[in-house]
């Protein structure tokens, strides 16, 4: 499994930095001499909202601002979680990680996003954690 930033624009507006890109998880499975490669965007709530509107709706860590200039962004302390930094297999779930938000559970076979996870009550969803080993 691998996770990295992949989508770098919405509605024709380019993200300010490539590390603001939405998470894209890839998988290479080997079975009985056959290789299967699959990939999916990590469909966080923010990803789905922006996908539906085809517009930047969130501020990001590395400088992408939502439309509206300084007044629309200055007091908005919420950051978009791109879930684009790492992946971790834990039990029967795969987790897409980012440094300043909760892990997102993925089905390790289909890579379908199952939502933000508190790891069975071990994390507060509003907390930050390490995404790198």
At 34-85, the pLDDT tens digits run 999 999 999 999 999 999 999 999 988 888 998 888 888 888 888 899 999 9
For residue 127, what pLDDT is reported?
Answer: 66
Q: Where are the domains of the chain?
A: 2-116
For residue 61, what pLDDT is reported?
Answer: 87
For residue 30, what pLDDT is reported?
Answer: 94
Pairing outcome for strands 9-10 and 2-7: unpaired
Q: 50 with 93: CB under 8 angstroms?
A: no
Q: Which residue has the higher pLDDT, 90 or 111?
A: 111
H or E, element range at 53: helix 45-53
Say whether pLDDT at 7 is over 80: yes
Q: What count of Cα atoms within 13 Å lies in the side-chain half-sphere of residue 7?
A: 23
Q: 95 with 66: CB under 8 angstroms?
A: no
For residue 107, what pLDDT is reported?
Answer: 97
109 in a labelled binding site: no
Q: What torsion do the CA atoms of 71, 74, 78, 81 make, to the nearest 10 degrees?
A: 90
Percent of the chain with pLDDT over 90: 68
Percent of the chain with pLDDT over 70: 95
* pTM attached to this predicted model: 0.87
For residue 95, what pLDDT is reported?
Answer: 96
> What average pLDDT score do residues 96-118 get?
93
The pLDDT confidence band at residue 125, using thresholds 50, 70 and 90, is low
For the chain, the maximum distance between any two Cα atoms, rounded to a whole number of angstroms, is 58
Q: 114 with 105: CB under 8 angstroms?
A: yes
Please list, in sequence order, all residues whose beta carbon lies within 8 angstroms of the beta carbon of residue 104, skipping any fewer than 6 positions away: 23, 42, 44, 81, 83, 95, 96, 113, 114, 115, 116, 117
Return d(Cα 85, Cα 67) in angstroms, integer.
Answer: 25
């Amino acid at each position: 499994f691998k996770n990295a930033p992949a989508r770098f624009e919405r509605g024709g507006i380019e993200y300010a930095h490539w590390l603001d890109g939405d998470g894209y998880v890839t998988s290479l499975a080997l079975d009985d001499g056959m290789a299967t490669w699959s990939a999916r965007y990590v469909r966080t709530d923010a990803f789905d909202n922006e996908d539906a509107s085809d517009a930047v709706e969130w501020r990001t860590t590395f400088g992408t601002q939502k439309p509206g200039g300084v007044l629309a962004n200055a007091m908005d302390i919420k950051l978009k979680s791109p879930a684009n930094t790492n992946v971790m297999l834990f039990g029967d779930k795969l987790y897409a990680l980012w440094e300043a938000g909760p892990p997102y559970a993925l089905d390790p076979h289909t890579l379908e996003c199952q939502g933000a996870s508190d790891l069975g009550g071990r994390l507060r969803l509003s907390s930050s954690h390490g995404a790198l080993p």
